C-alpha cells in the first residue's frame, strides 16, 4: 500500500511538471514580469511625423539576458516616445497602437512582425549572435530600413504599399528619398505582394514568437524570439500522453487488485 501511494505521488508530480512546462512554452507573453533590453547597430535617423521633423537613433533592440529561457530582439513601434528600461512584454493582439494623436487607424502588428522575420538581422542573431557584425555599415543600413518600414506600416497603414509611400510628404510619416528609403521601399513592396498573394492577410511563418511592450510612458517595442521546434513540442506532448496513459493503467491495476 505504501509503495502505491509513493508511486501515485511521483506520477502526479511528473504529470504536473510536464503540464507546467507546456503551459510555459505556450504562454510566454501571458506573464507580467519585465524584460531589460539594450541596442546594437545604432544609426542616426531623421524623419517626419505629422509634418514635424524628428531626429533619433534607429537600432535593433535585444534582451541582455534570457527572458523566459529565450533571447529576444525587436524594433520600435512608436516614432514619438523615447525608450526606457525595463519593458513589460504582453500579448501582441492586445496592442493599442502608438501614443500619438490622433491615433493611427488599422495598424497591424503582424505587418511589423513580417518585416522582422523576413529582413531583420536579429533573426540570424537569435541562431548565432557572432554571425552578425553590428558595427558594419551594411547591417546598420538594413536595421534602419526595417525600422523605417515598420514606422510606415504603423503610422500610414495601407492595403498595399508603393515604392514612393515612405517618401510621400502628404502622409503622417515620411523620410527623405535616398538609398535607405529605396531599401525600405523594397521591403514594403514585398509586403504588399505577400498580402496580395494571401488574400490581403499577413501570414507569419511561425518560426518566431512575438510580444509587444504596450506602455504609455515609453516606446512600444515589438520583440521576437525563436518559437519552440515542432519536434520538441511533439516530444513534450507525447511525453504527457504517455504519462497520462501510464497513470490510467496504474489506476486500473489498483482497482483490479
Q: Is the dihedral of CA 215, 172, 104, 140 positive or negative?
A: negative
- Residue 229 in grid coordinates: 521546434
Residue 248 has pLDDT above 80, yes or no: no
Is the bond preceding 102 in cis, omega lying within 30 degrees of 0? yes
Residues near 238 by beta carbon (within 8 Å), at least 6 away in sequence: none
Residues near 158 by beta carbon (within 8 Å), at least 6 away in sequence: 165
42-95 residue pLDDT tens? 999 999 999 999 999 999 999 999 999 999 999 999 999 999 999 999 999 999
Residue 200 has pLDDT above 50, yes or no: yes
The pTM (predicted TM-score) of the whole model is 0.80
Structural domain spans, the chain: 2-26+232-256, 35-226
Residue 15 has pLDDT above 70, yes or no: no
Answer for the pair 50, 104: CB distance below 8 angstroms, yes or no: no
Which of 33-37, 180-184, 212-216, 230-234 shows the lowest mean pLDDT across its residues? 230-234
Amino acid at each position: 500500500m505504501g509503495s502505491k501511494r509513493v508511486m501515485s505521488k511521483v506520477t502526479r508530480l511528473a504529470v504536473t511538471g510536464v503540464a507546467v512546462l507546456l503551459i510555459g512554452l505556450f504562454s510566454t507573453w501571458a506573464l507580467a514580469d519585465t524584460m531589460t533590453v539594450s541596442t546594437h547597430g545604432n544609426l542616426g535617423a531623421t524623419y517626419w511625423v505629422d509634418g514635424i521633423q524628428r531626429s533619433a537613433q534607429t537600432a535593433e533592440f535585444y534582451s541582455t539576458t534570457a527572458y523566459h529561457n529565450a533571447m529576444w530582439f525587436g524594433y520600435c513601434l512608436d516614432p514619438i516616445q523615447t525608450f526606457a528600461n525595463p519593458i513589460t512584454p504582453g500579448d501582441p493582439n492586445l496592442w493599442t497602437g502608438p501614443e500619438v494623436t490622433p491615433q493611427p487607424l488599422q495598424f497591424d502588428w503582424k505587418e511589423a512582425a513580417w518585416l522582422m522575420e523576413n529582413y531583420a538581422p536579429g533573426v540570424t542573431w537569435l541562431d548565432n549572435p557572432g554571425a552578425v557584425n553590428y558595427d558594419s555599415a551594411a547591417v546598420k543600413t538594413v536595421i534602419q530600413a526595417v525600422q523605417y518600414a515598420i514606422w510606415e506600416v504603423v503610422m500610414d497603414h495601407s492595403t498595399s504599399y508603393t515604392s514612393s509611400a515612405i517618401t510621400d510628404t502628404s502622409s503622417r510619416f515620411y523620410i527623405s528619398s535616398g538609398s535607405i528609403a529605396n531599401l525600405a521601399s523594397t521591403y514594403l513592396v514585398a509586403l504588399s505582394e505577400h498580402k496580395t498573394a494571401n488574400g490581403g492577410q499577413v501570414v507569419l511563418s511561425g518560426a518566431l514568437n512575438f510580444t509587444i511592450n504596450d506602455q504609455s510612458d515609453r516606446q512600444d517595442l515589438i520583440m521576437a524570439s525563436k518559437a519552440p521546434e515542432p519536434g520538441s513540442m511533439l516530444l513534450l506532448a507525447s511525453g504527457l500522453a504517455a504519462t497520462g496513459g501510464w497513470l490510467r493503467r496504474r489506476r486500473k491495476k489498483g482497482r483490479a487488485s
